[in-house]
Amino acid sequence: MRGAQLGQQLSLFESCQRWRGGREAFRPAGEPFEPARYCVEQVDFSTAKRFVLEHHYSGTMPAARLELGLLQKPSRWRREEVAGVIVLSVPVQERAIPAWFDGMHPRLGIEIGRLVLLDDVPANGETWFLGRAFRLMRQLLPEVRGVLSYCDPMERRDAHGRVVKRGHIGTVYRAFNGRYVGRSSPRVITVSRDGRCVSERALSKIRGDEQGAAYAVRQLTDMGAPARDEGESGAAYVERALRAGGFSRVRHPGNLTFTWRVDGGQPRGQTATRAP
């Protein structure tokens, strides 16, 4: 990694990243967080999805098993509002949980698919939110034994060179005692002109005309792809859409991976076999 990039990423230890409208902002580390102003509750899928699509840079919602909201309590001047969302999701690859948790059954593991807080939540809000979220998860999903999260170290830029996502090094997960267990496998990713990453699973659904293909097509057109022609096969459409929509293929070094055991066991160490 280049020195300038590393310096930029390490500087994130001094601040906490926030999102609003898909754009990042930062709060200074050490800023006081007032727990009495917030609570954590389960929210419905539509509320979580709307929040994630509006504020998270990815503009996508993963396959959720549990949606939890950071709610700012009502006051004399404002109504109760959703200030953050954690989506606990099904990992994209079924073999991810067994790979990082010594053969654990996939259903016993879960992924932090999205963690997004608004830019006006004070620093240290993530760790407080995660702590309450894990406690609630144990009540609502008692079968879960392991929690996995990936952190993308790759900076993302749009077609004009503007940074749409900085490289992340897992500051919040380290602060929350997440264990770094290595990187996922390097791969080639498909990136839209506005810097968003296209889900390979979504492309696979379109190619095979599987359930969910229509939604995947809508995601692709939202990223700049042309509409699908009537009668056009899924495979032909994907090839045409990626070519005509200005998408690019980029080498990704692999995500940083963090794990938590919630049953008292120990996660795999840094010598673990890479997961997909």
Q: What is the CATH number of the domain that holds 41?
A: 3.40.630.30
83 and 148 assigned to the same domain: yes
Considering the entire predicted model, what is its pTM?
0.75
Instruction: In whole angstroms, give the CA distance from residue 117 to residue 271.
Output: 33
Give the pLDDT confidence of 65-80 residue by residue, as tens digits. Answer: 999 999 999 877 778 8
pLDDT at 99 over 80: yes
Within a domain: 276:
no
The answer to whether residue 235 is domain-embedded is: yes
C-beta separation of 140 from 178 below 8 A: no
Residue among 251, 257, 255 nearest 269 (CA)? 257
Is residue 181 included in any domain, yes or no?
yes
Instruction: Kindly state whether residues 10 and 54 are assigned to the same domain.
Output: yes
Residues paired with residue 18 on neighbouring β-strands, in sequence order: 25
Instruction: Please indicate, yes or no, whether residues 167 and 212 belong to a single structural domain of this protein.
Output: no
Give yes or no: residues 30 and 163 share one domain. yes
Checking if the pLDDT of 264 tops 70, the result is no
Angle at 186 between CA 161 and CA 67, to 5 degrees: 80
Mark whether 241 and 145 lie in a shared domain: no
**Token pair 């389960």 in the structure block, residue:** 42
Domains held by the chain: number: 2
Closest alpha carbon to 244 in 258, 261, 232: 232
Residue 273 lies in a domain: no
Bridge-based pairing of strands 197-198 and 187-191 is antiparallel
Residue 108, in any domain of the structure: yes
In the structure, what pLDDT confidence band is assigned to residue 213 with cuts at 50, 70 and 90?
Answer: very high
User: pLDDT tens-digit profile of 37-69?
Assistant: 999 999 999 999 999 999 887 778 888 999 999
Does 201 share its domain with 151?
no
127 and 240 share one domain: no
Residue 220 placed within a domain: yes
Amino acid at 47: T
Same domain for 153 and 220?
Answer: no
Question: Does 36 reside within a domain?
Answer: yes
Mean pLDDT of 194-219: 90
Residues of the domain holding 112:
3-185+254-261
How large is the average pLDDT for residues 227-247? 95
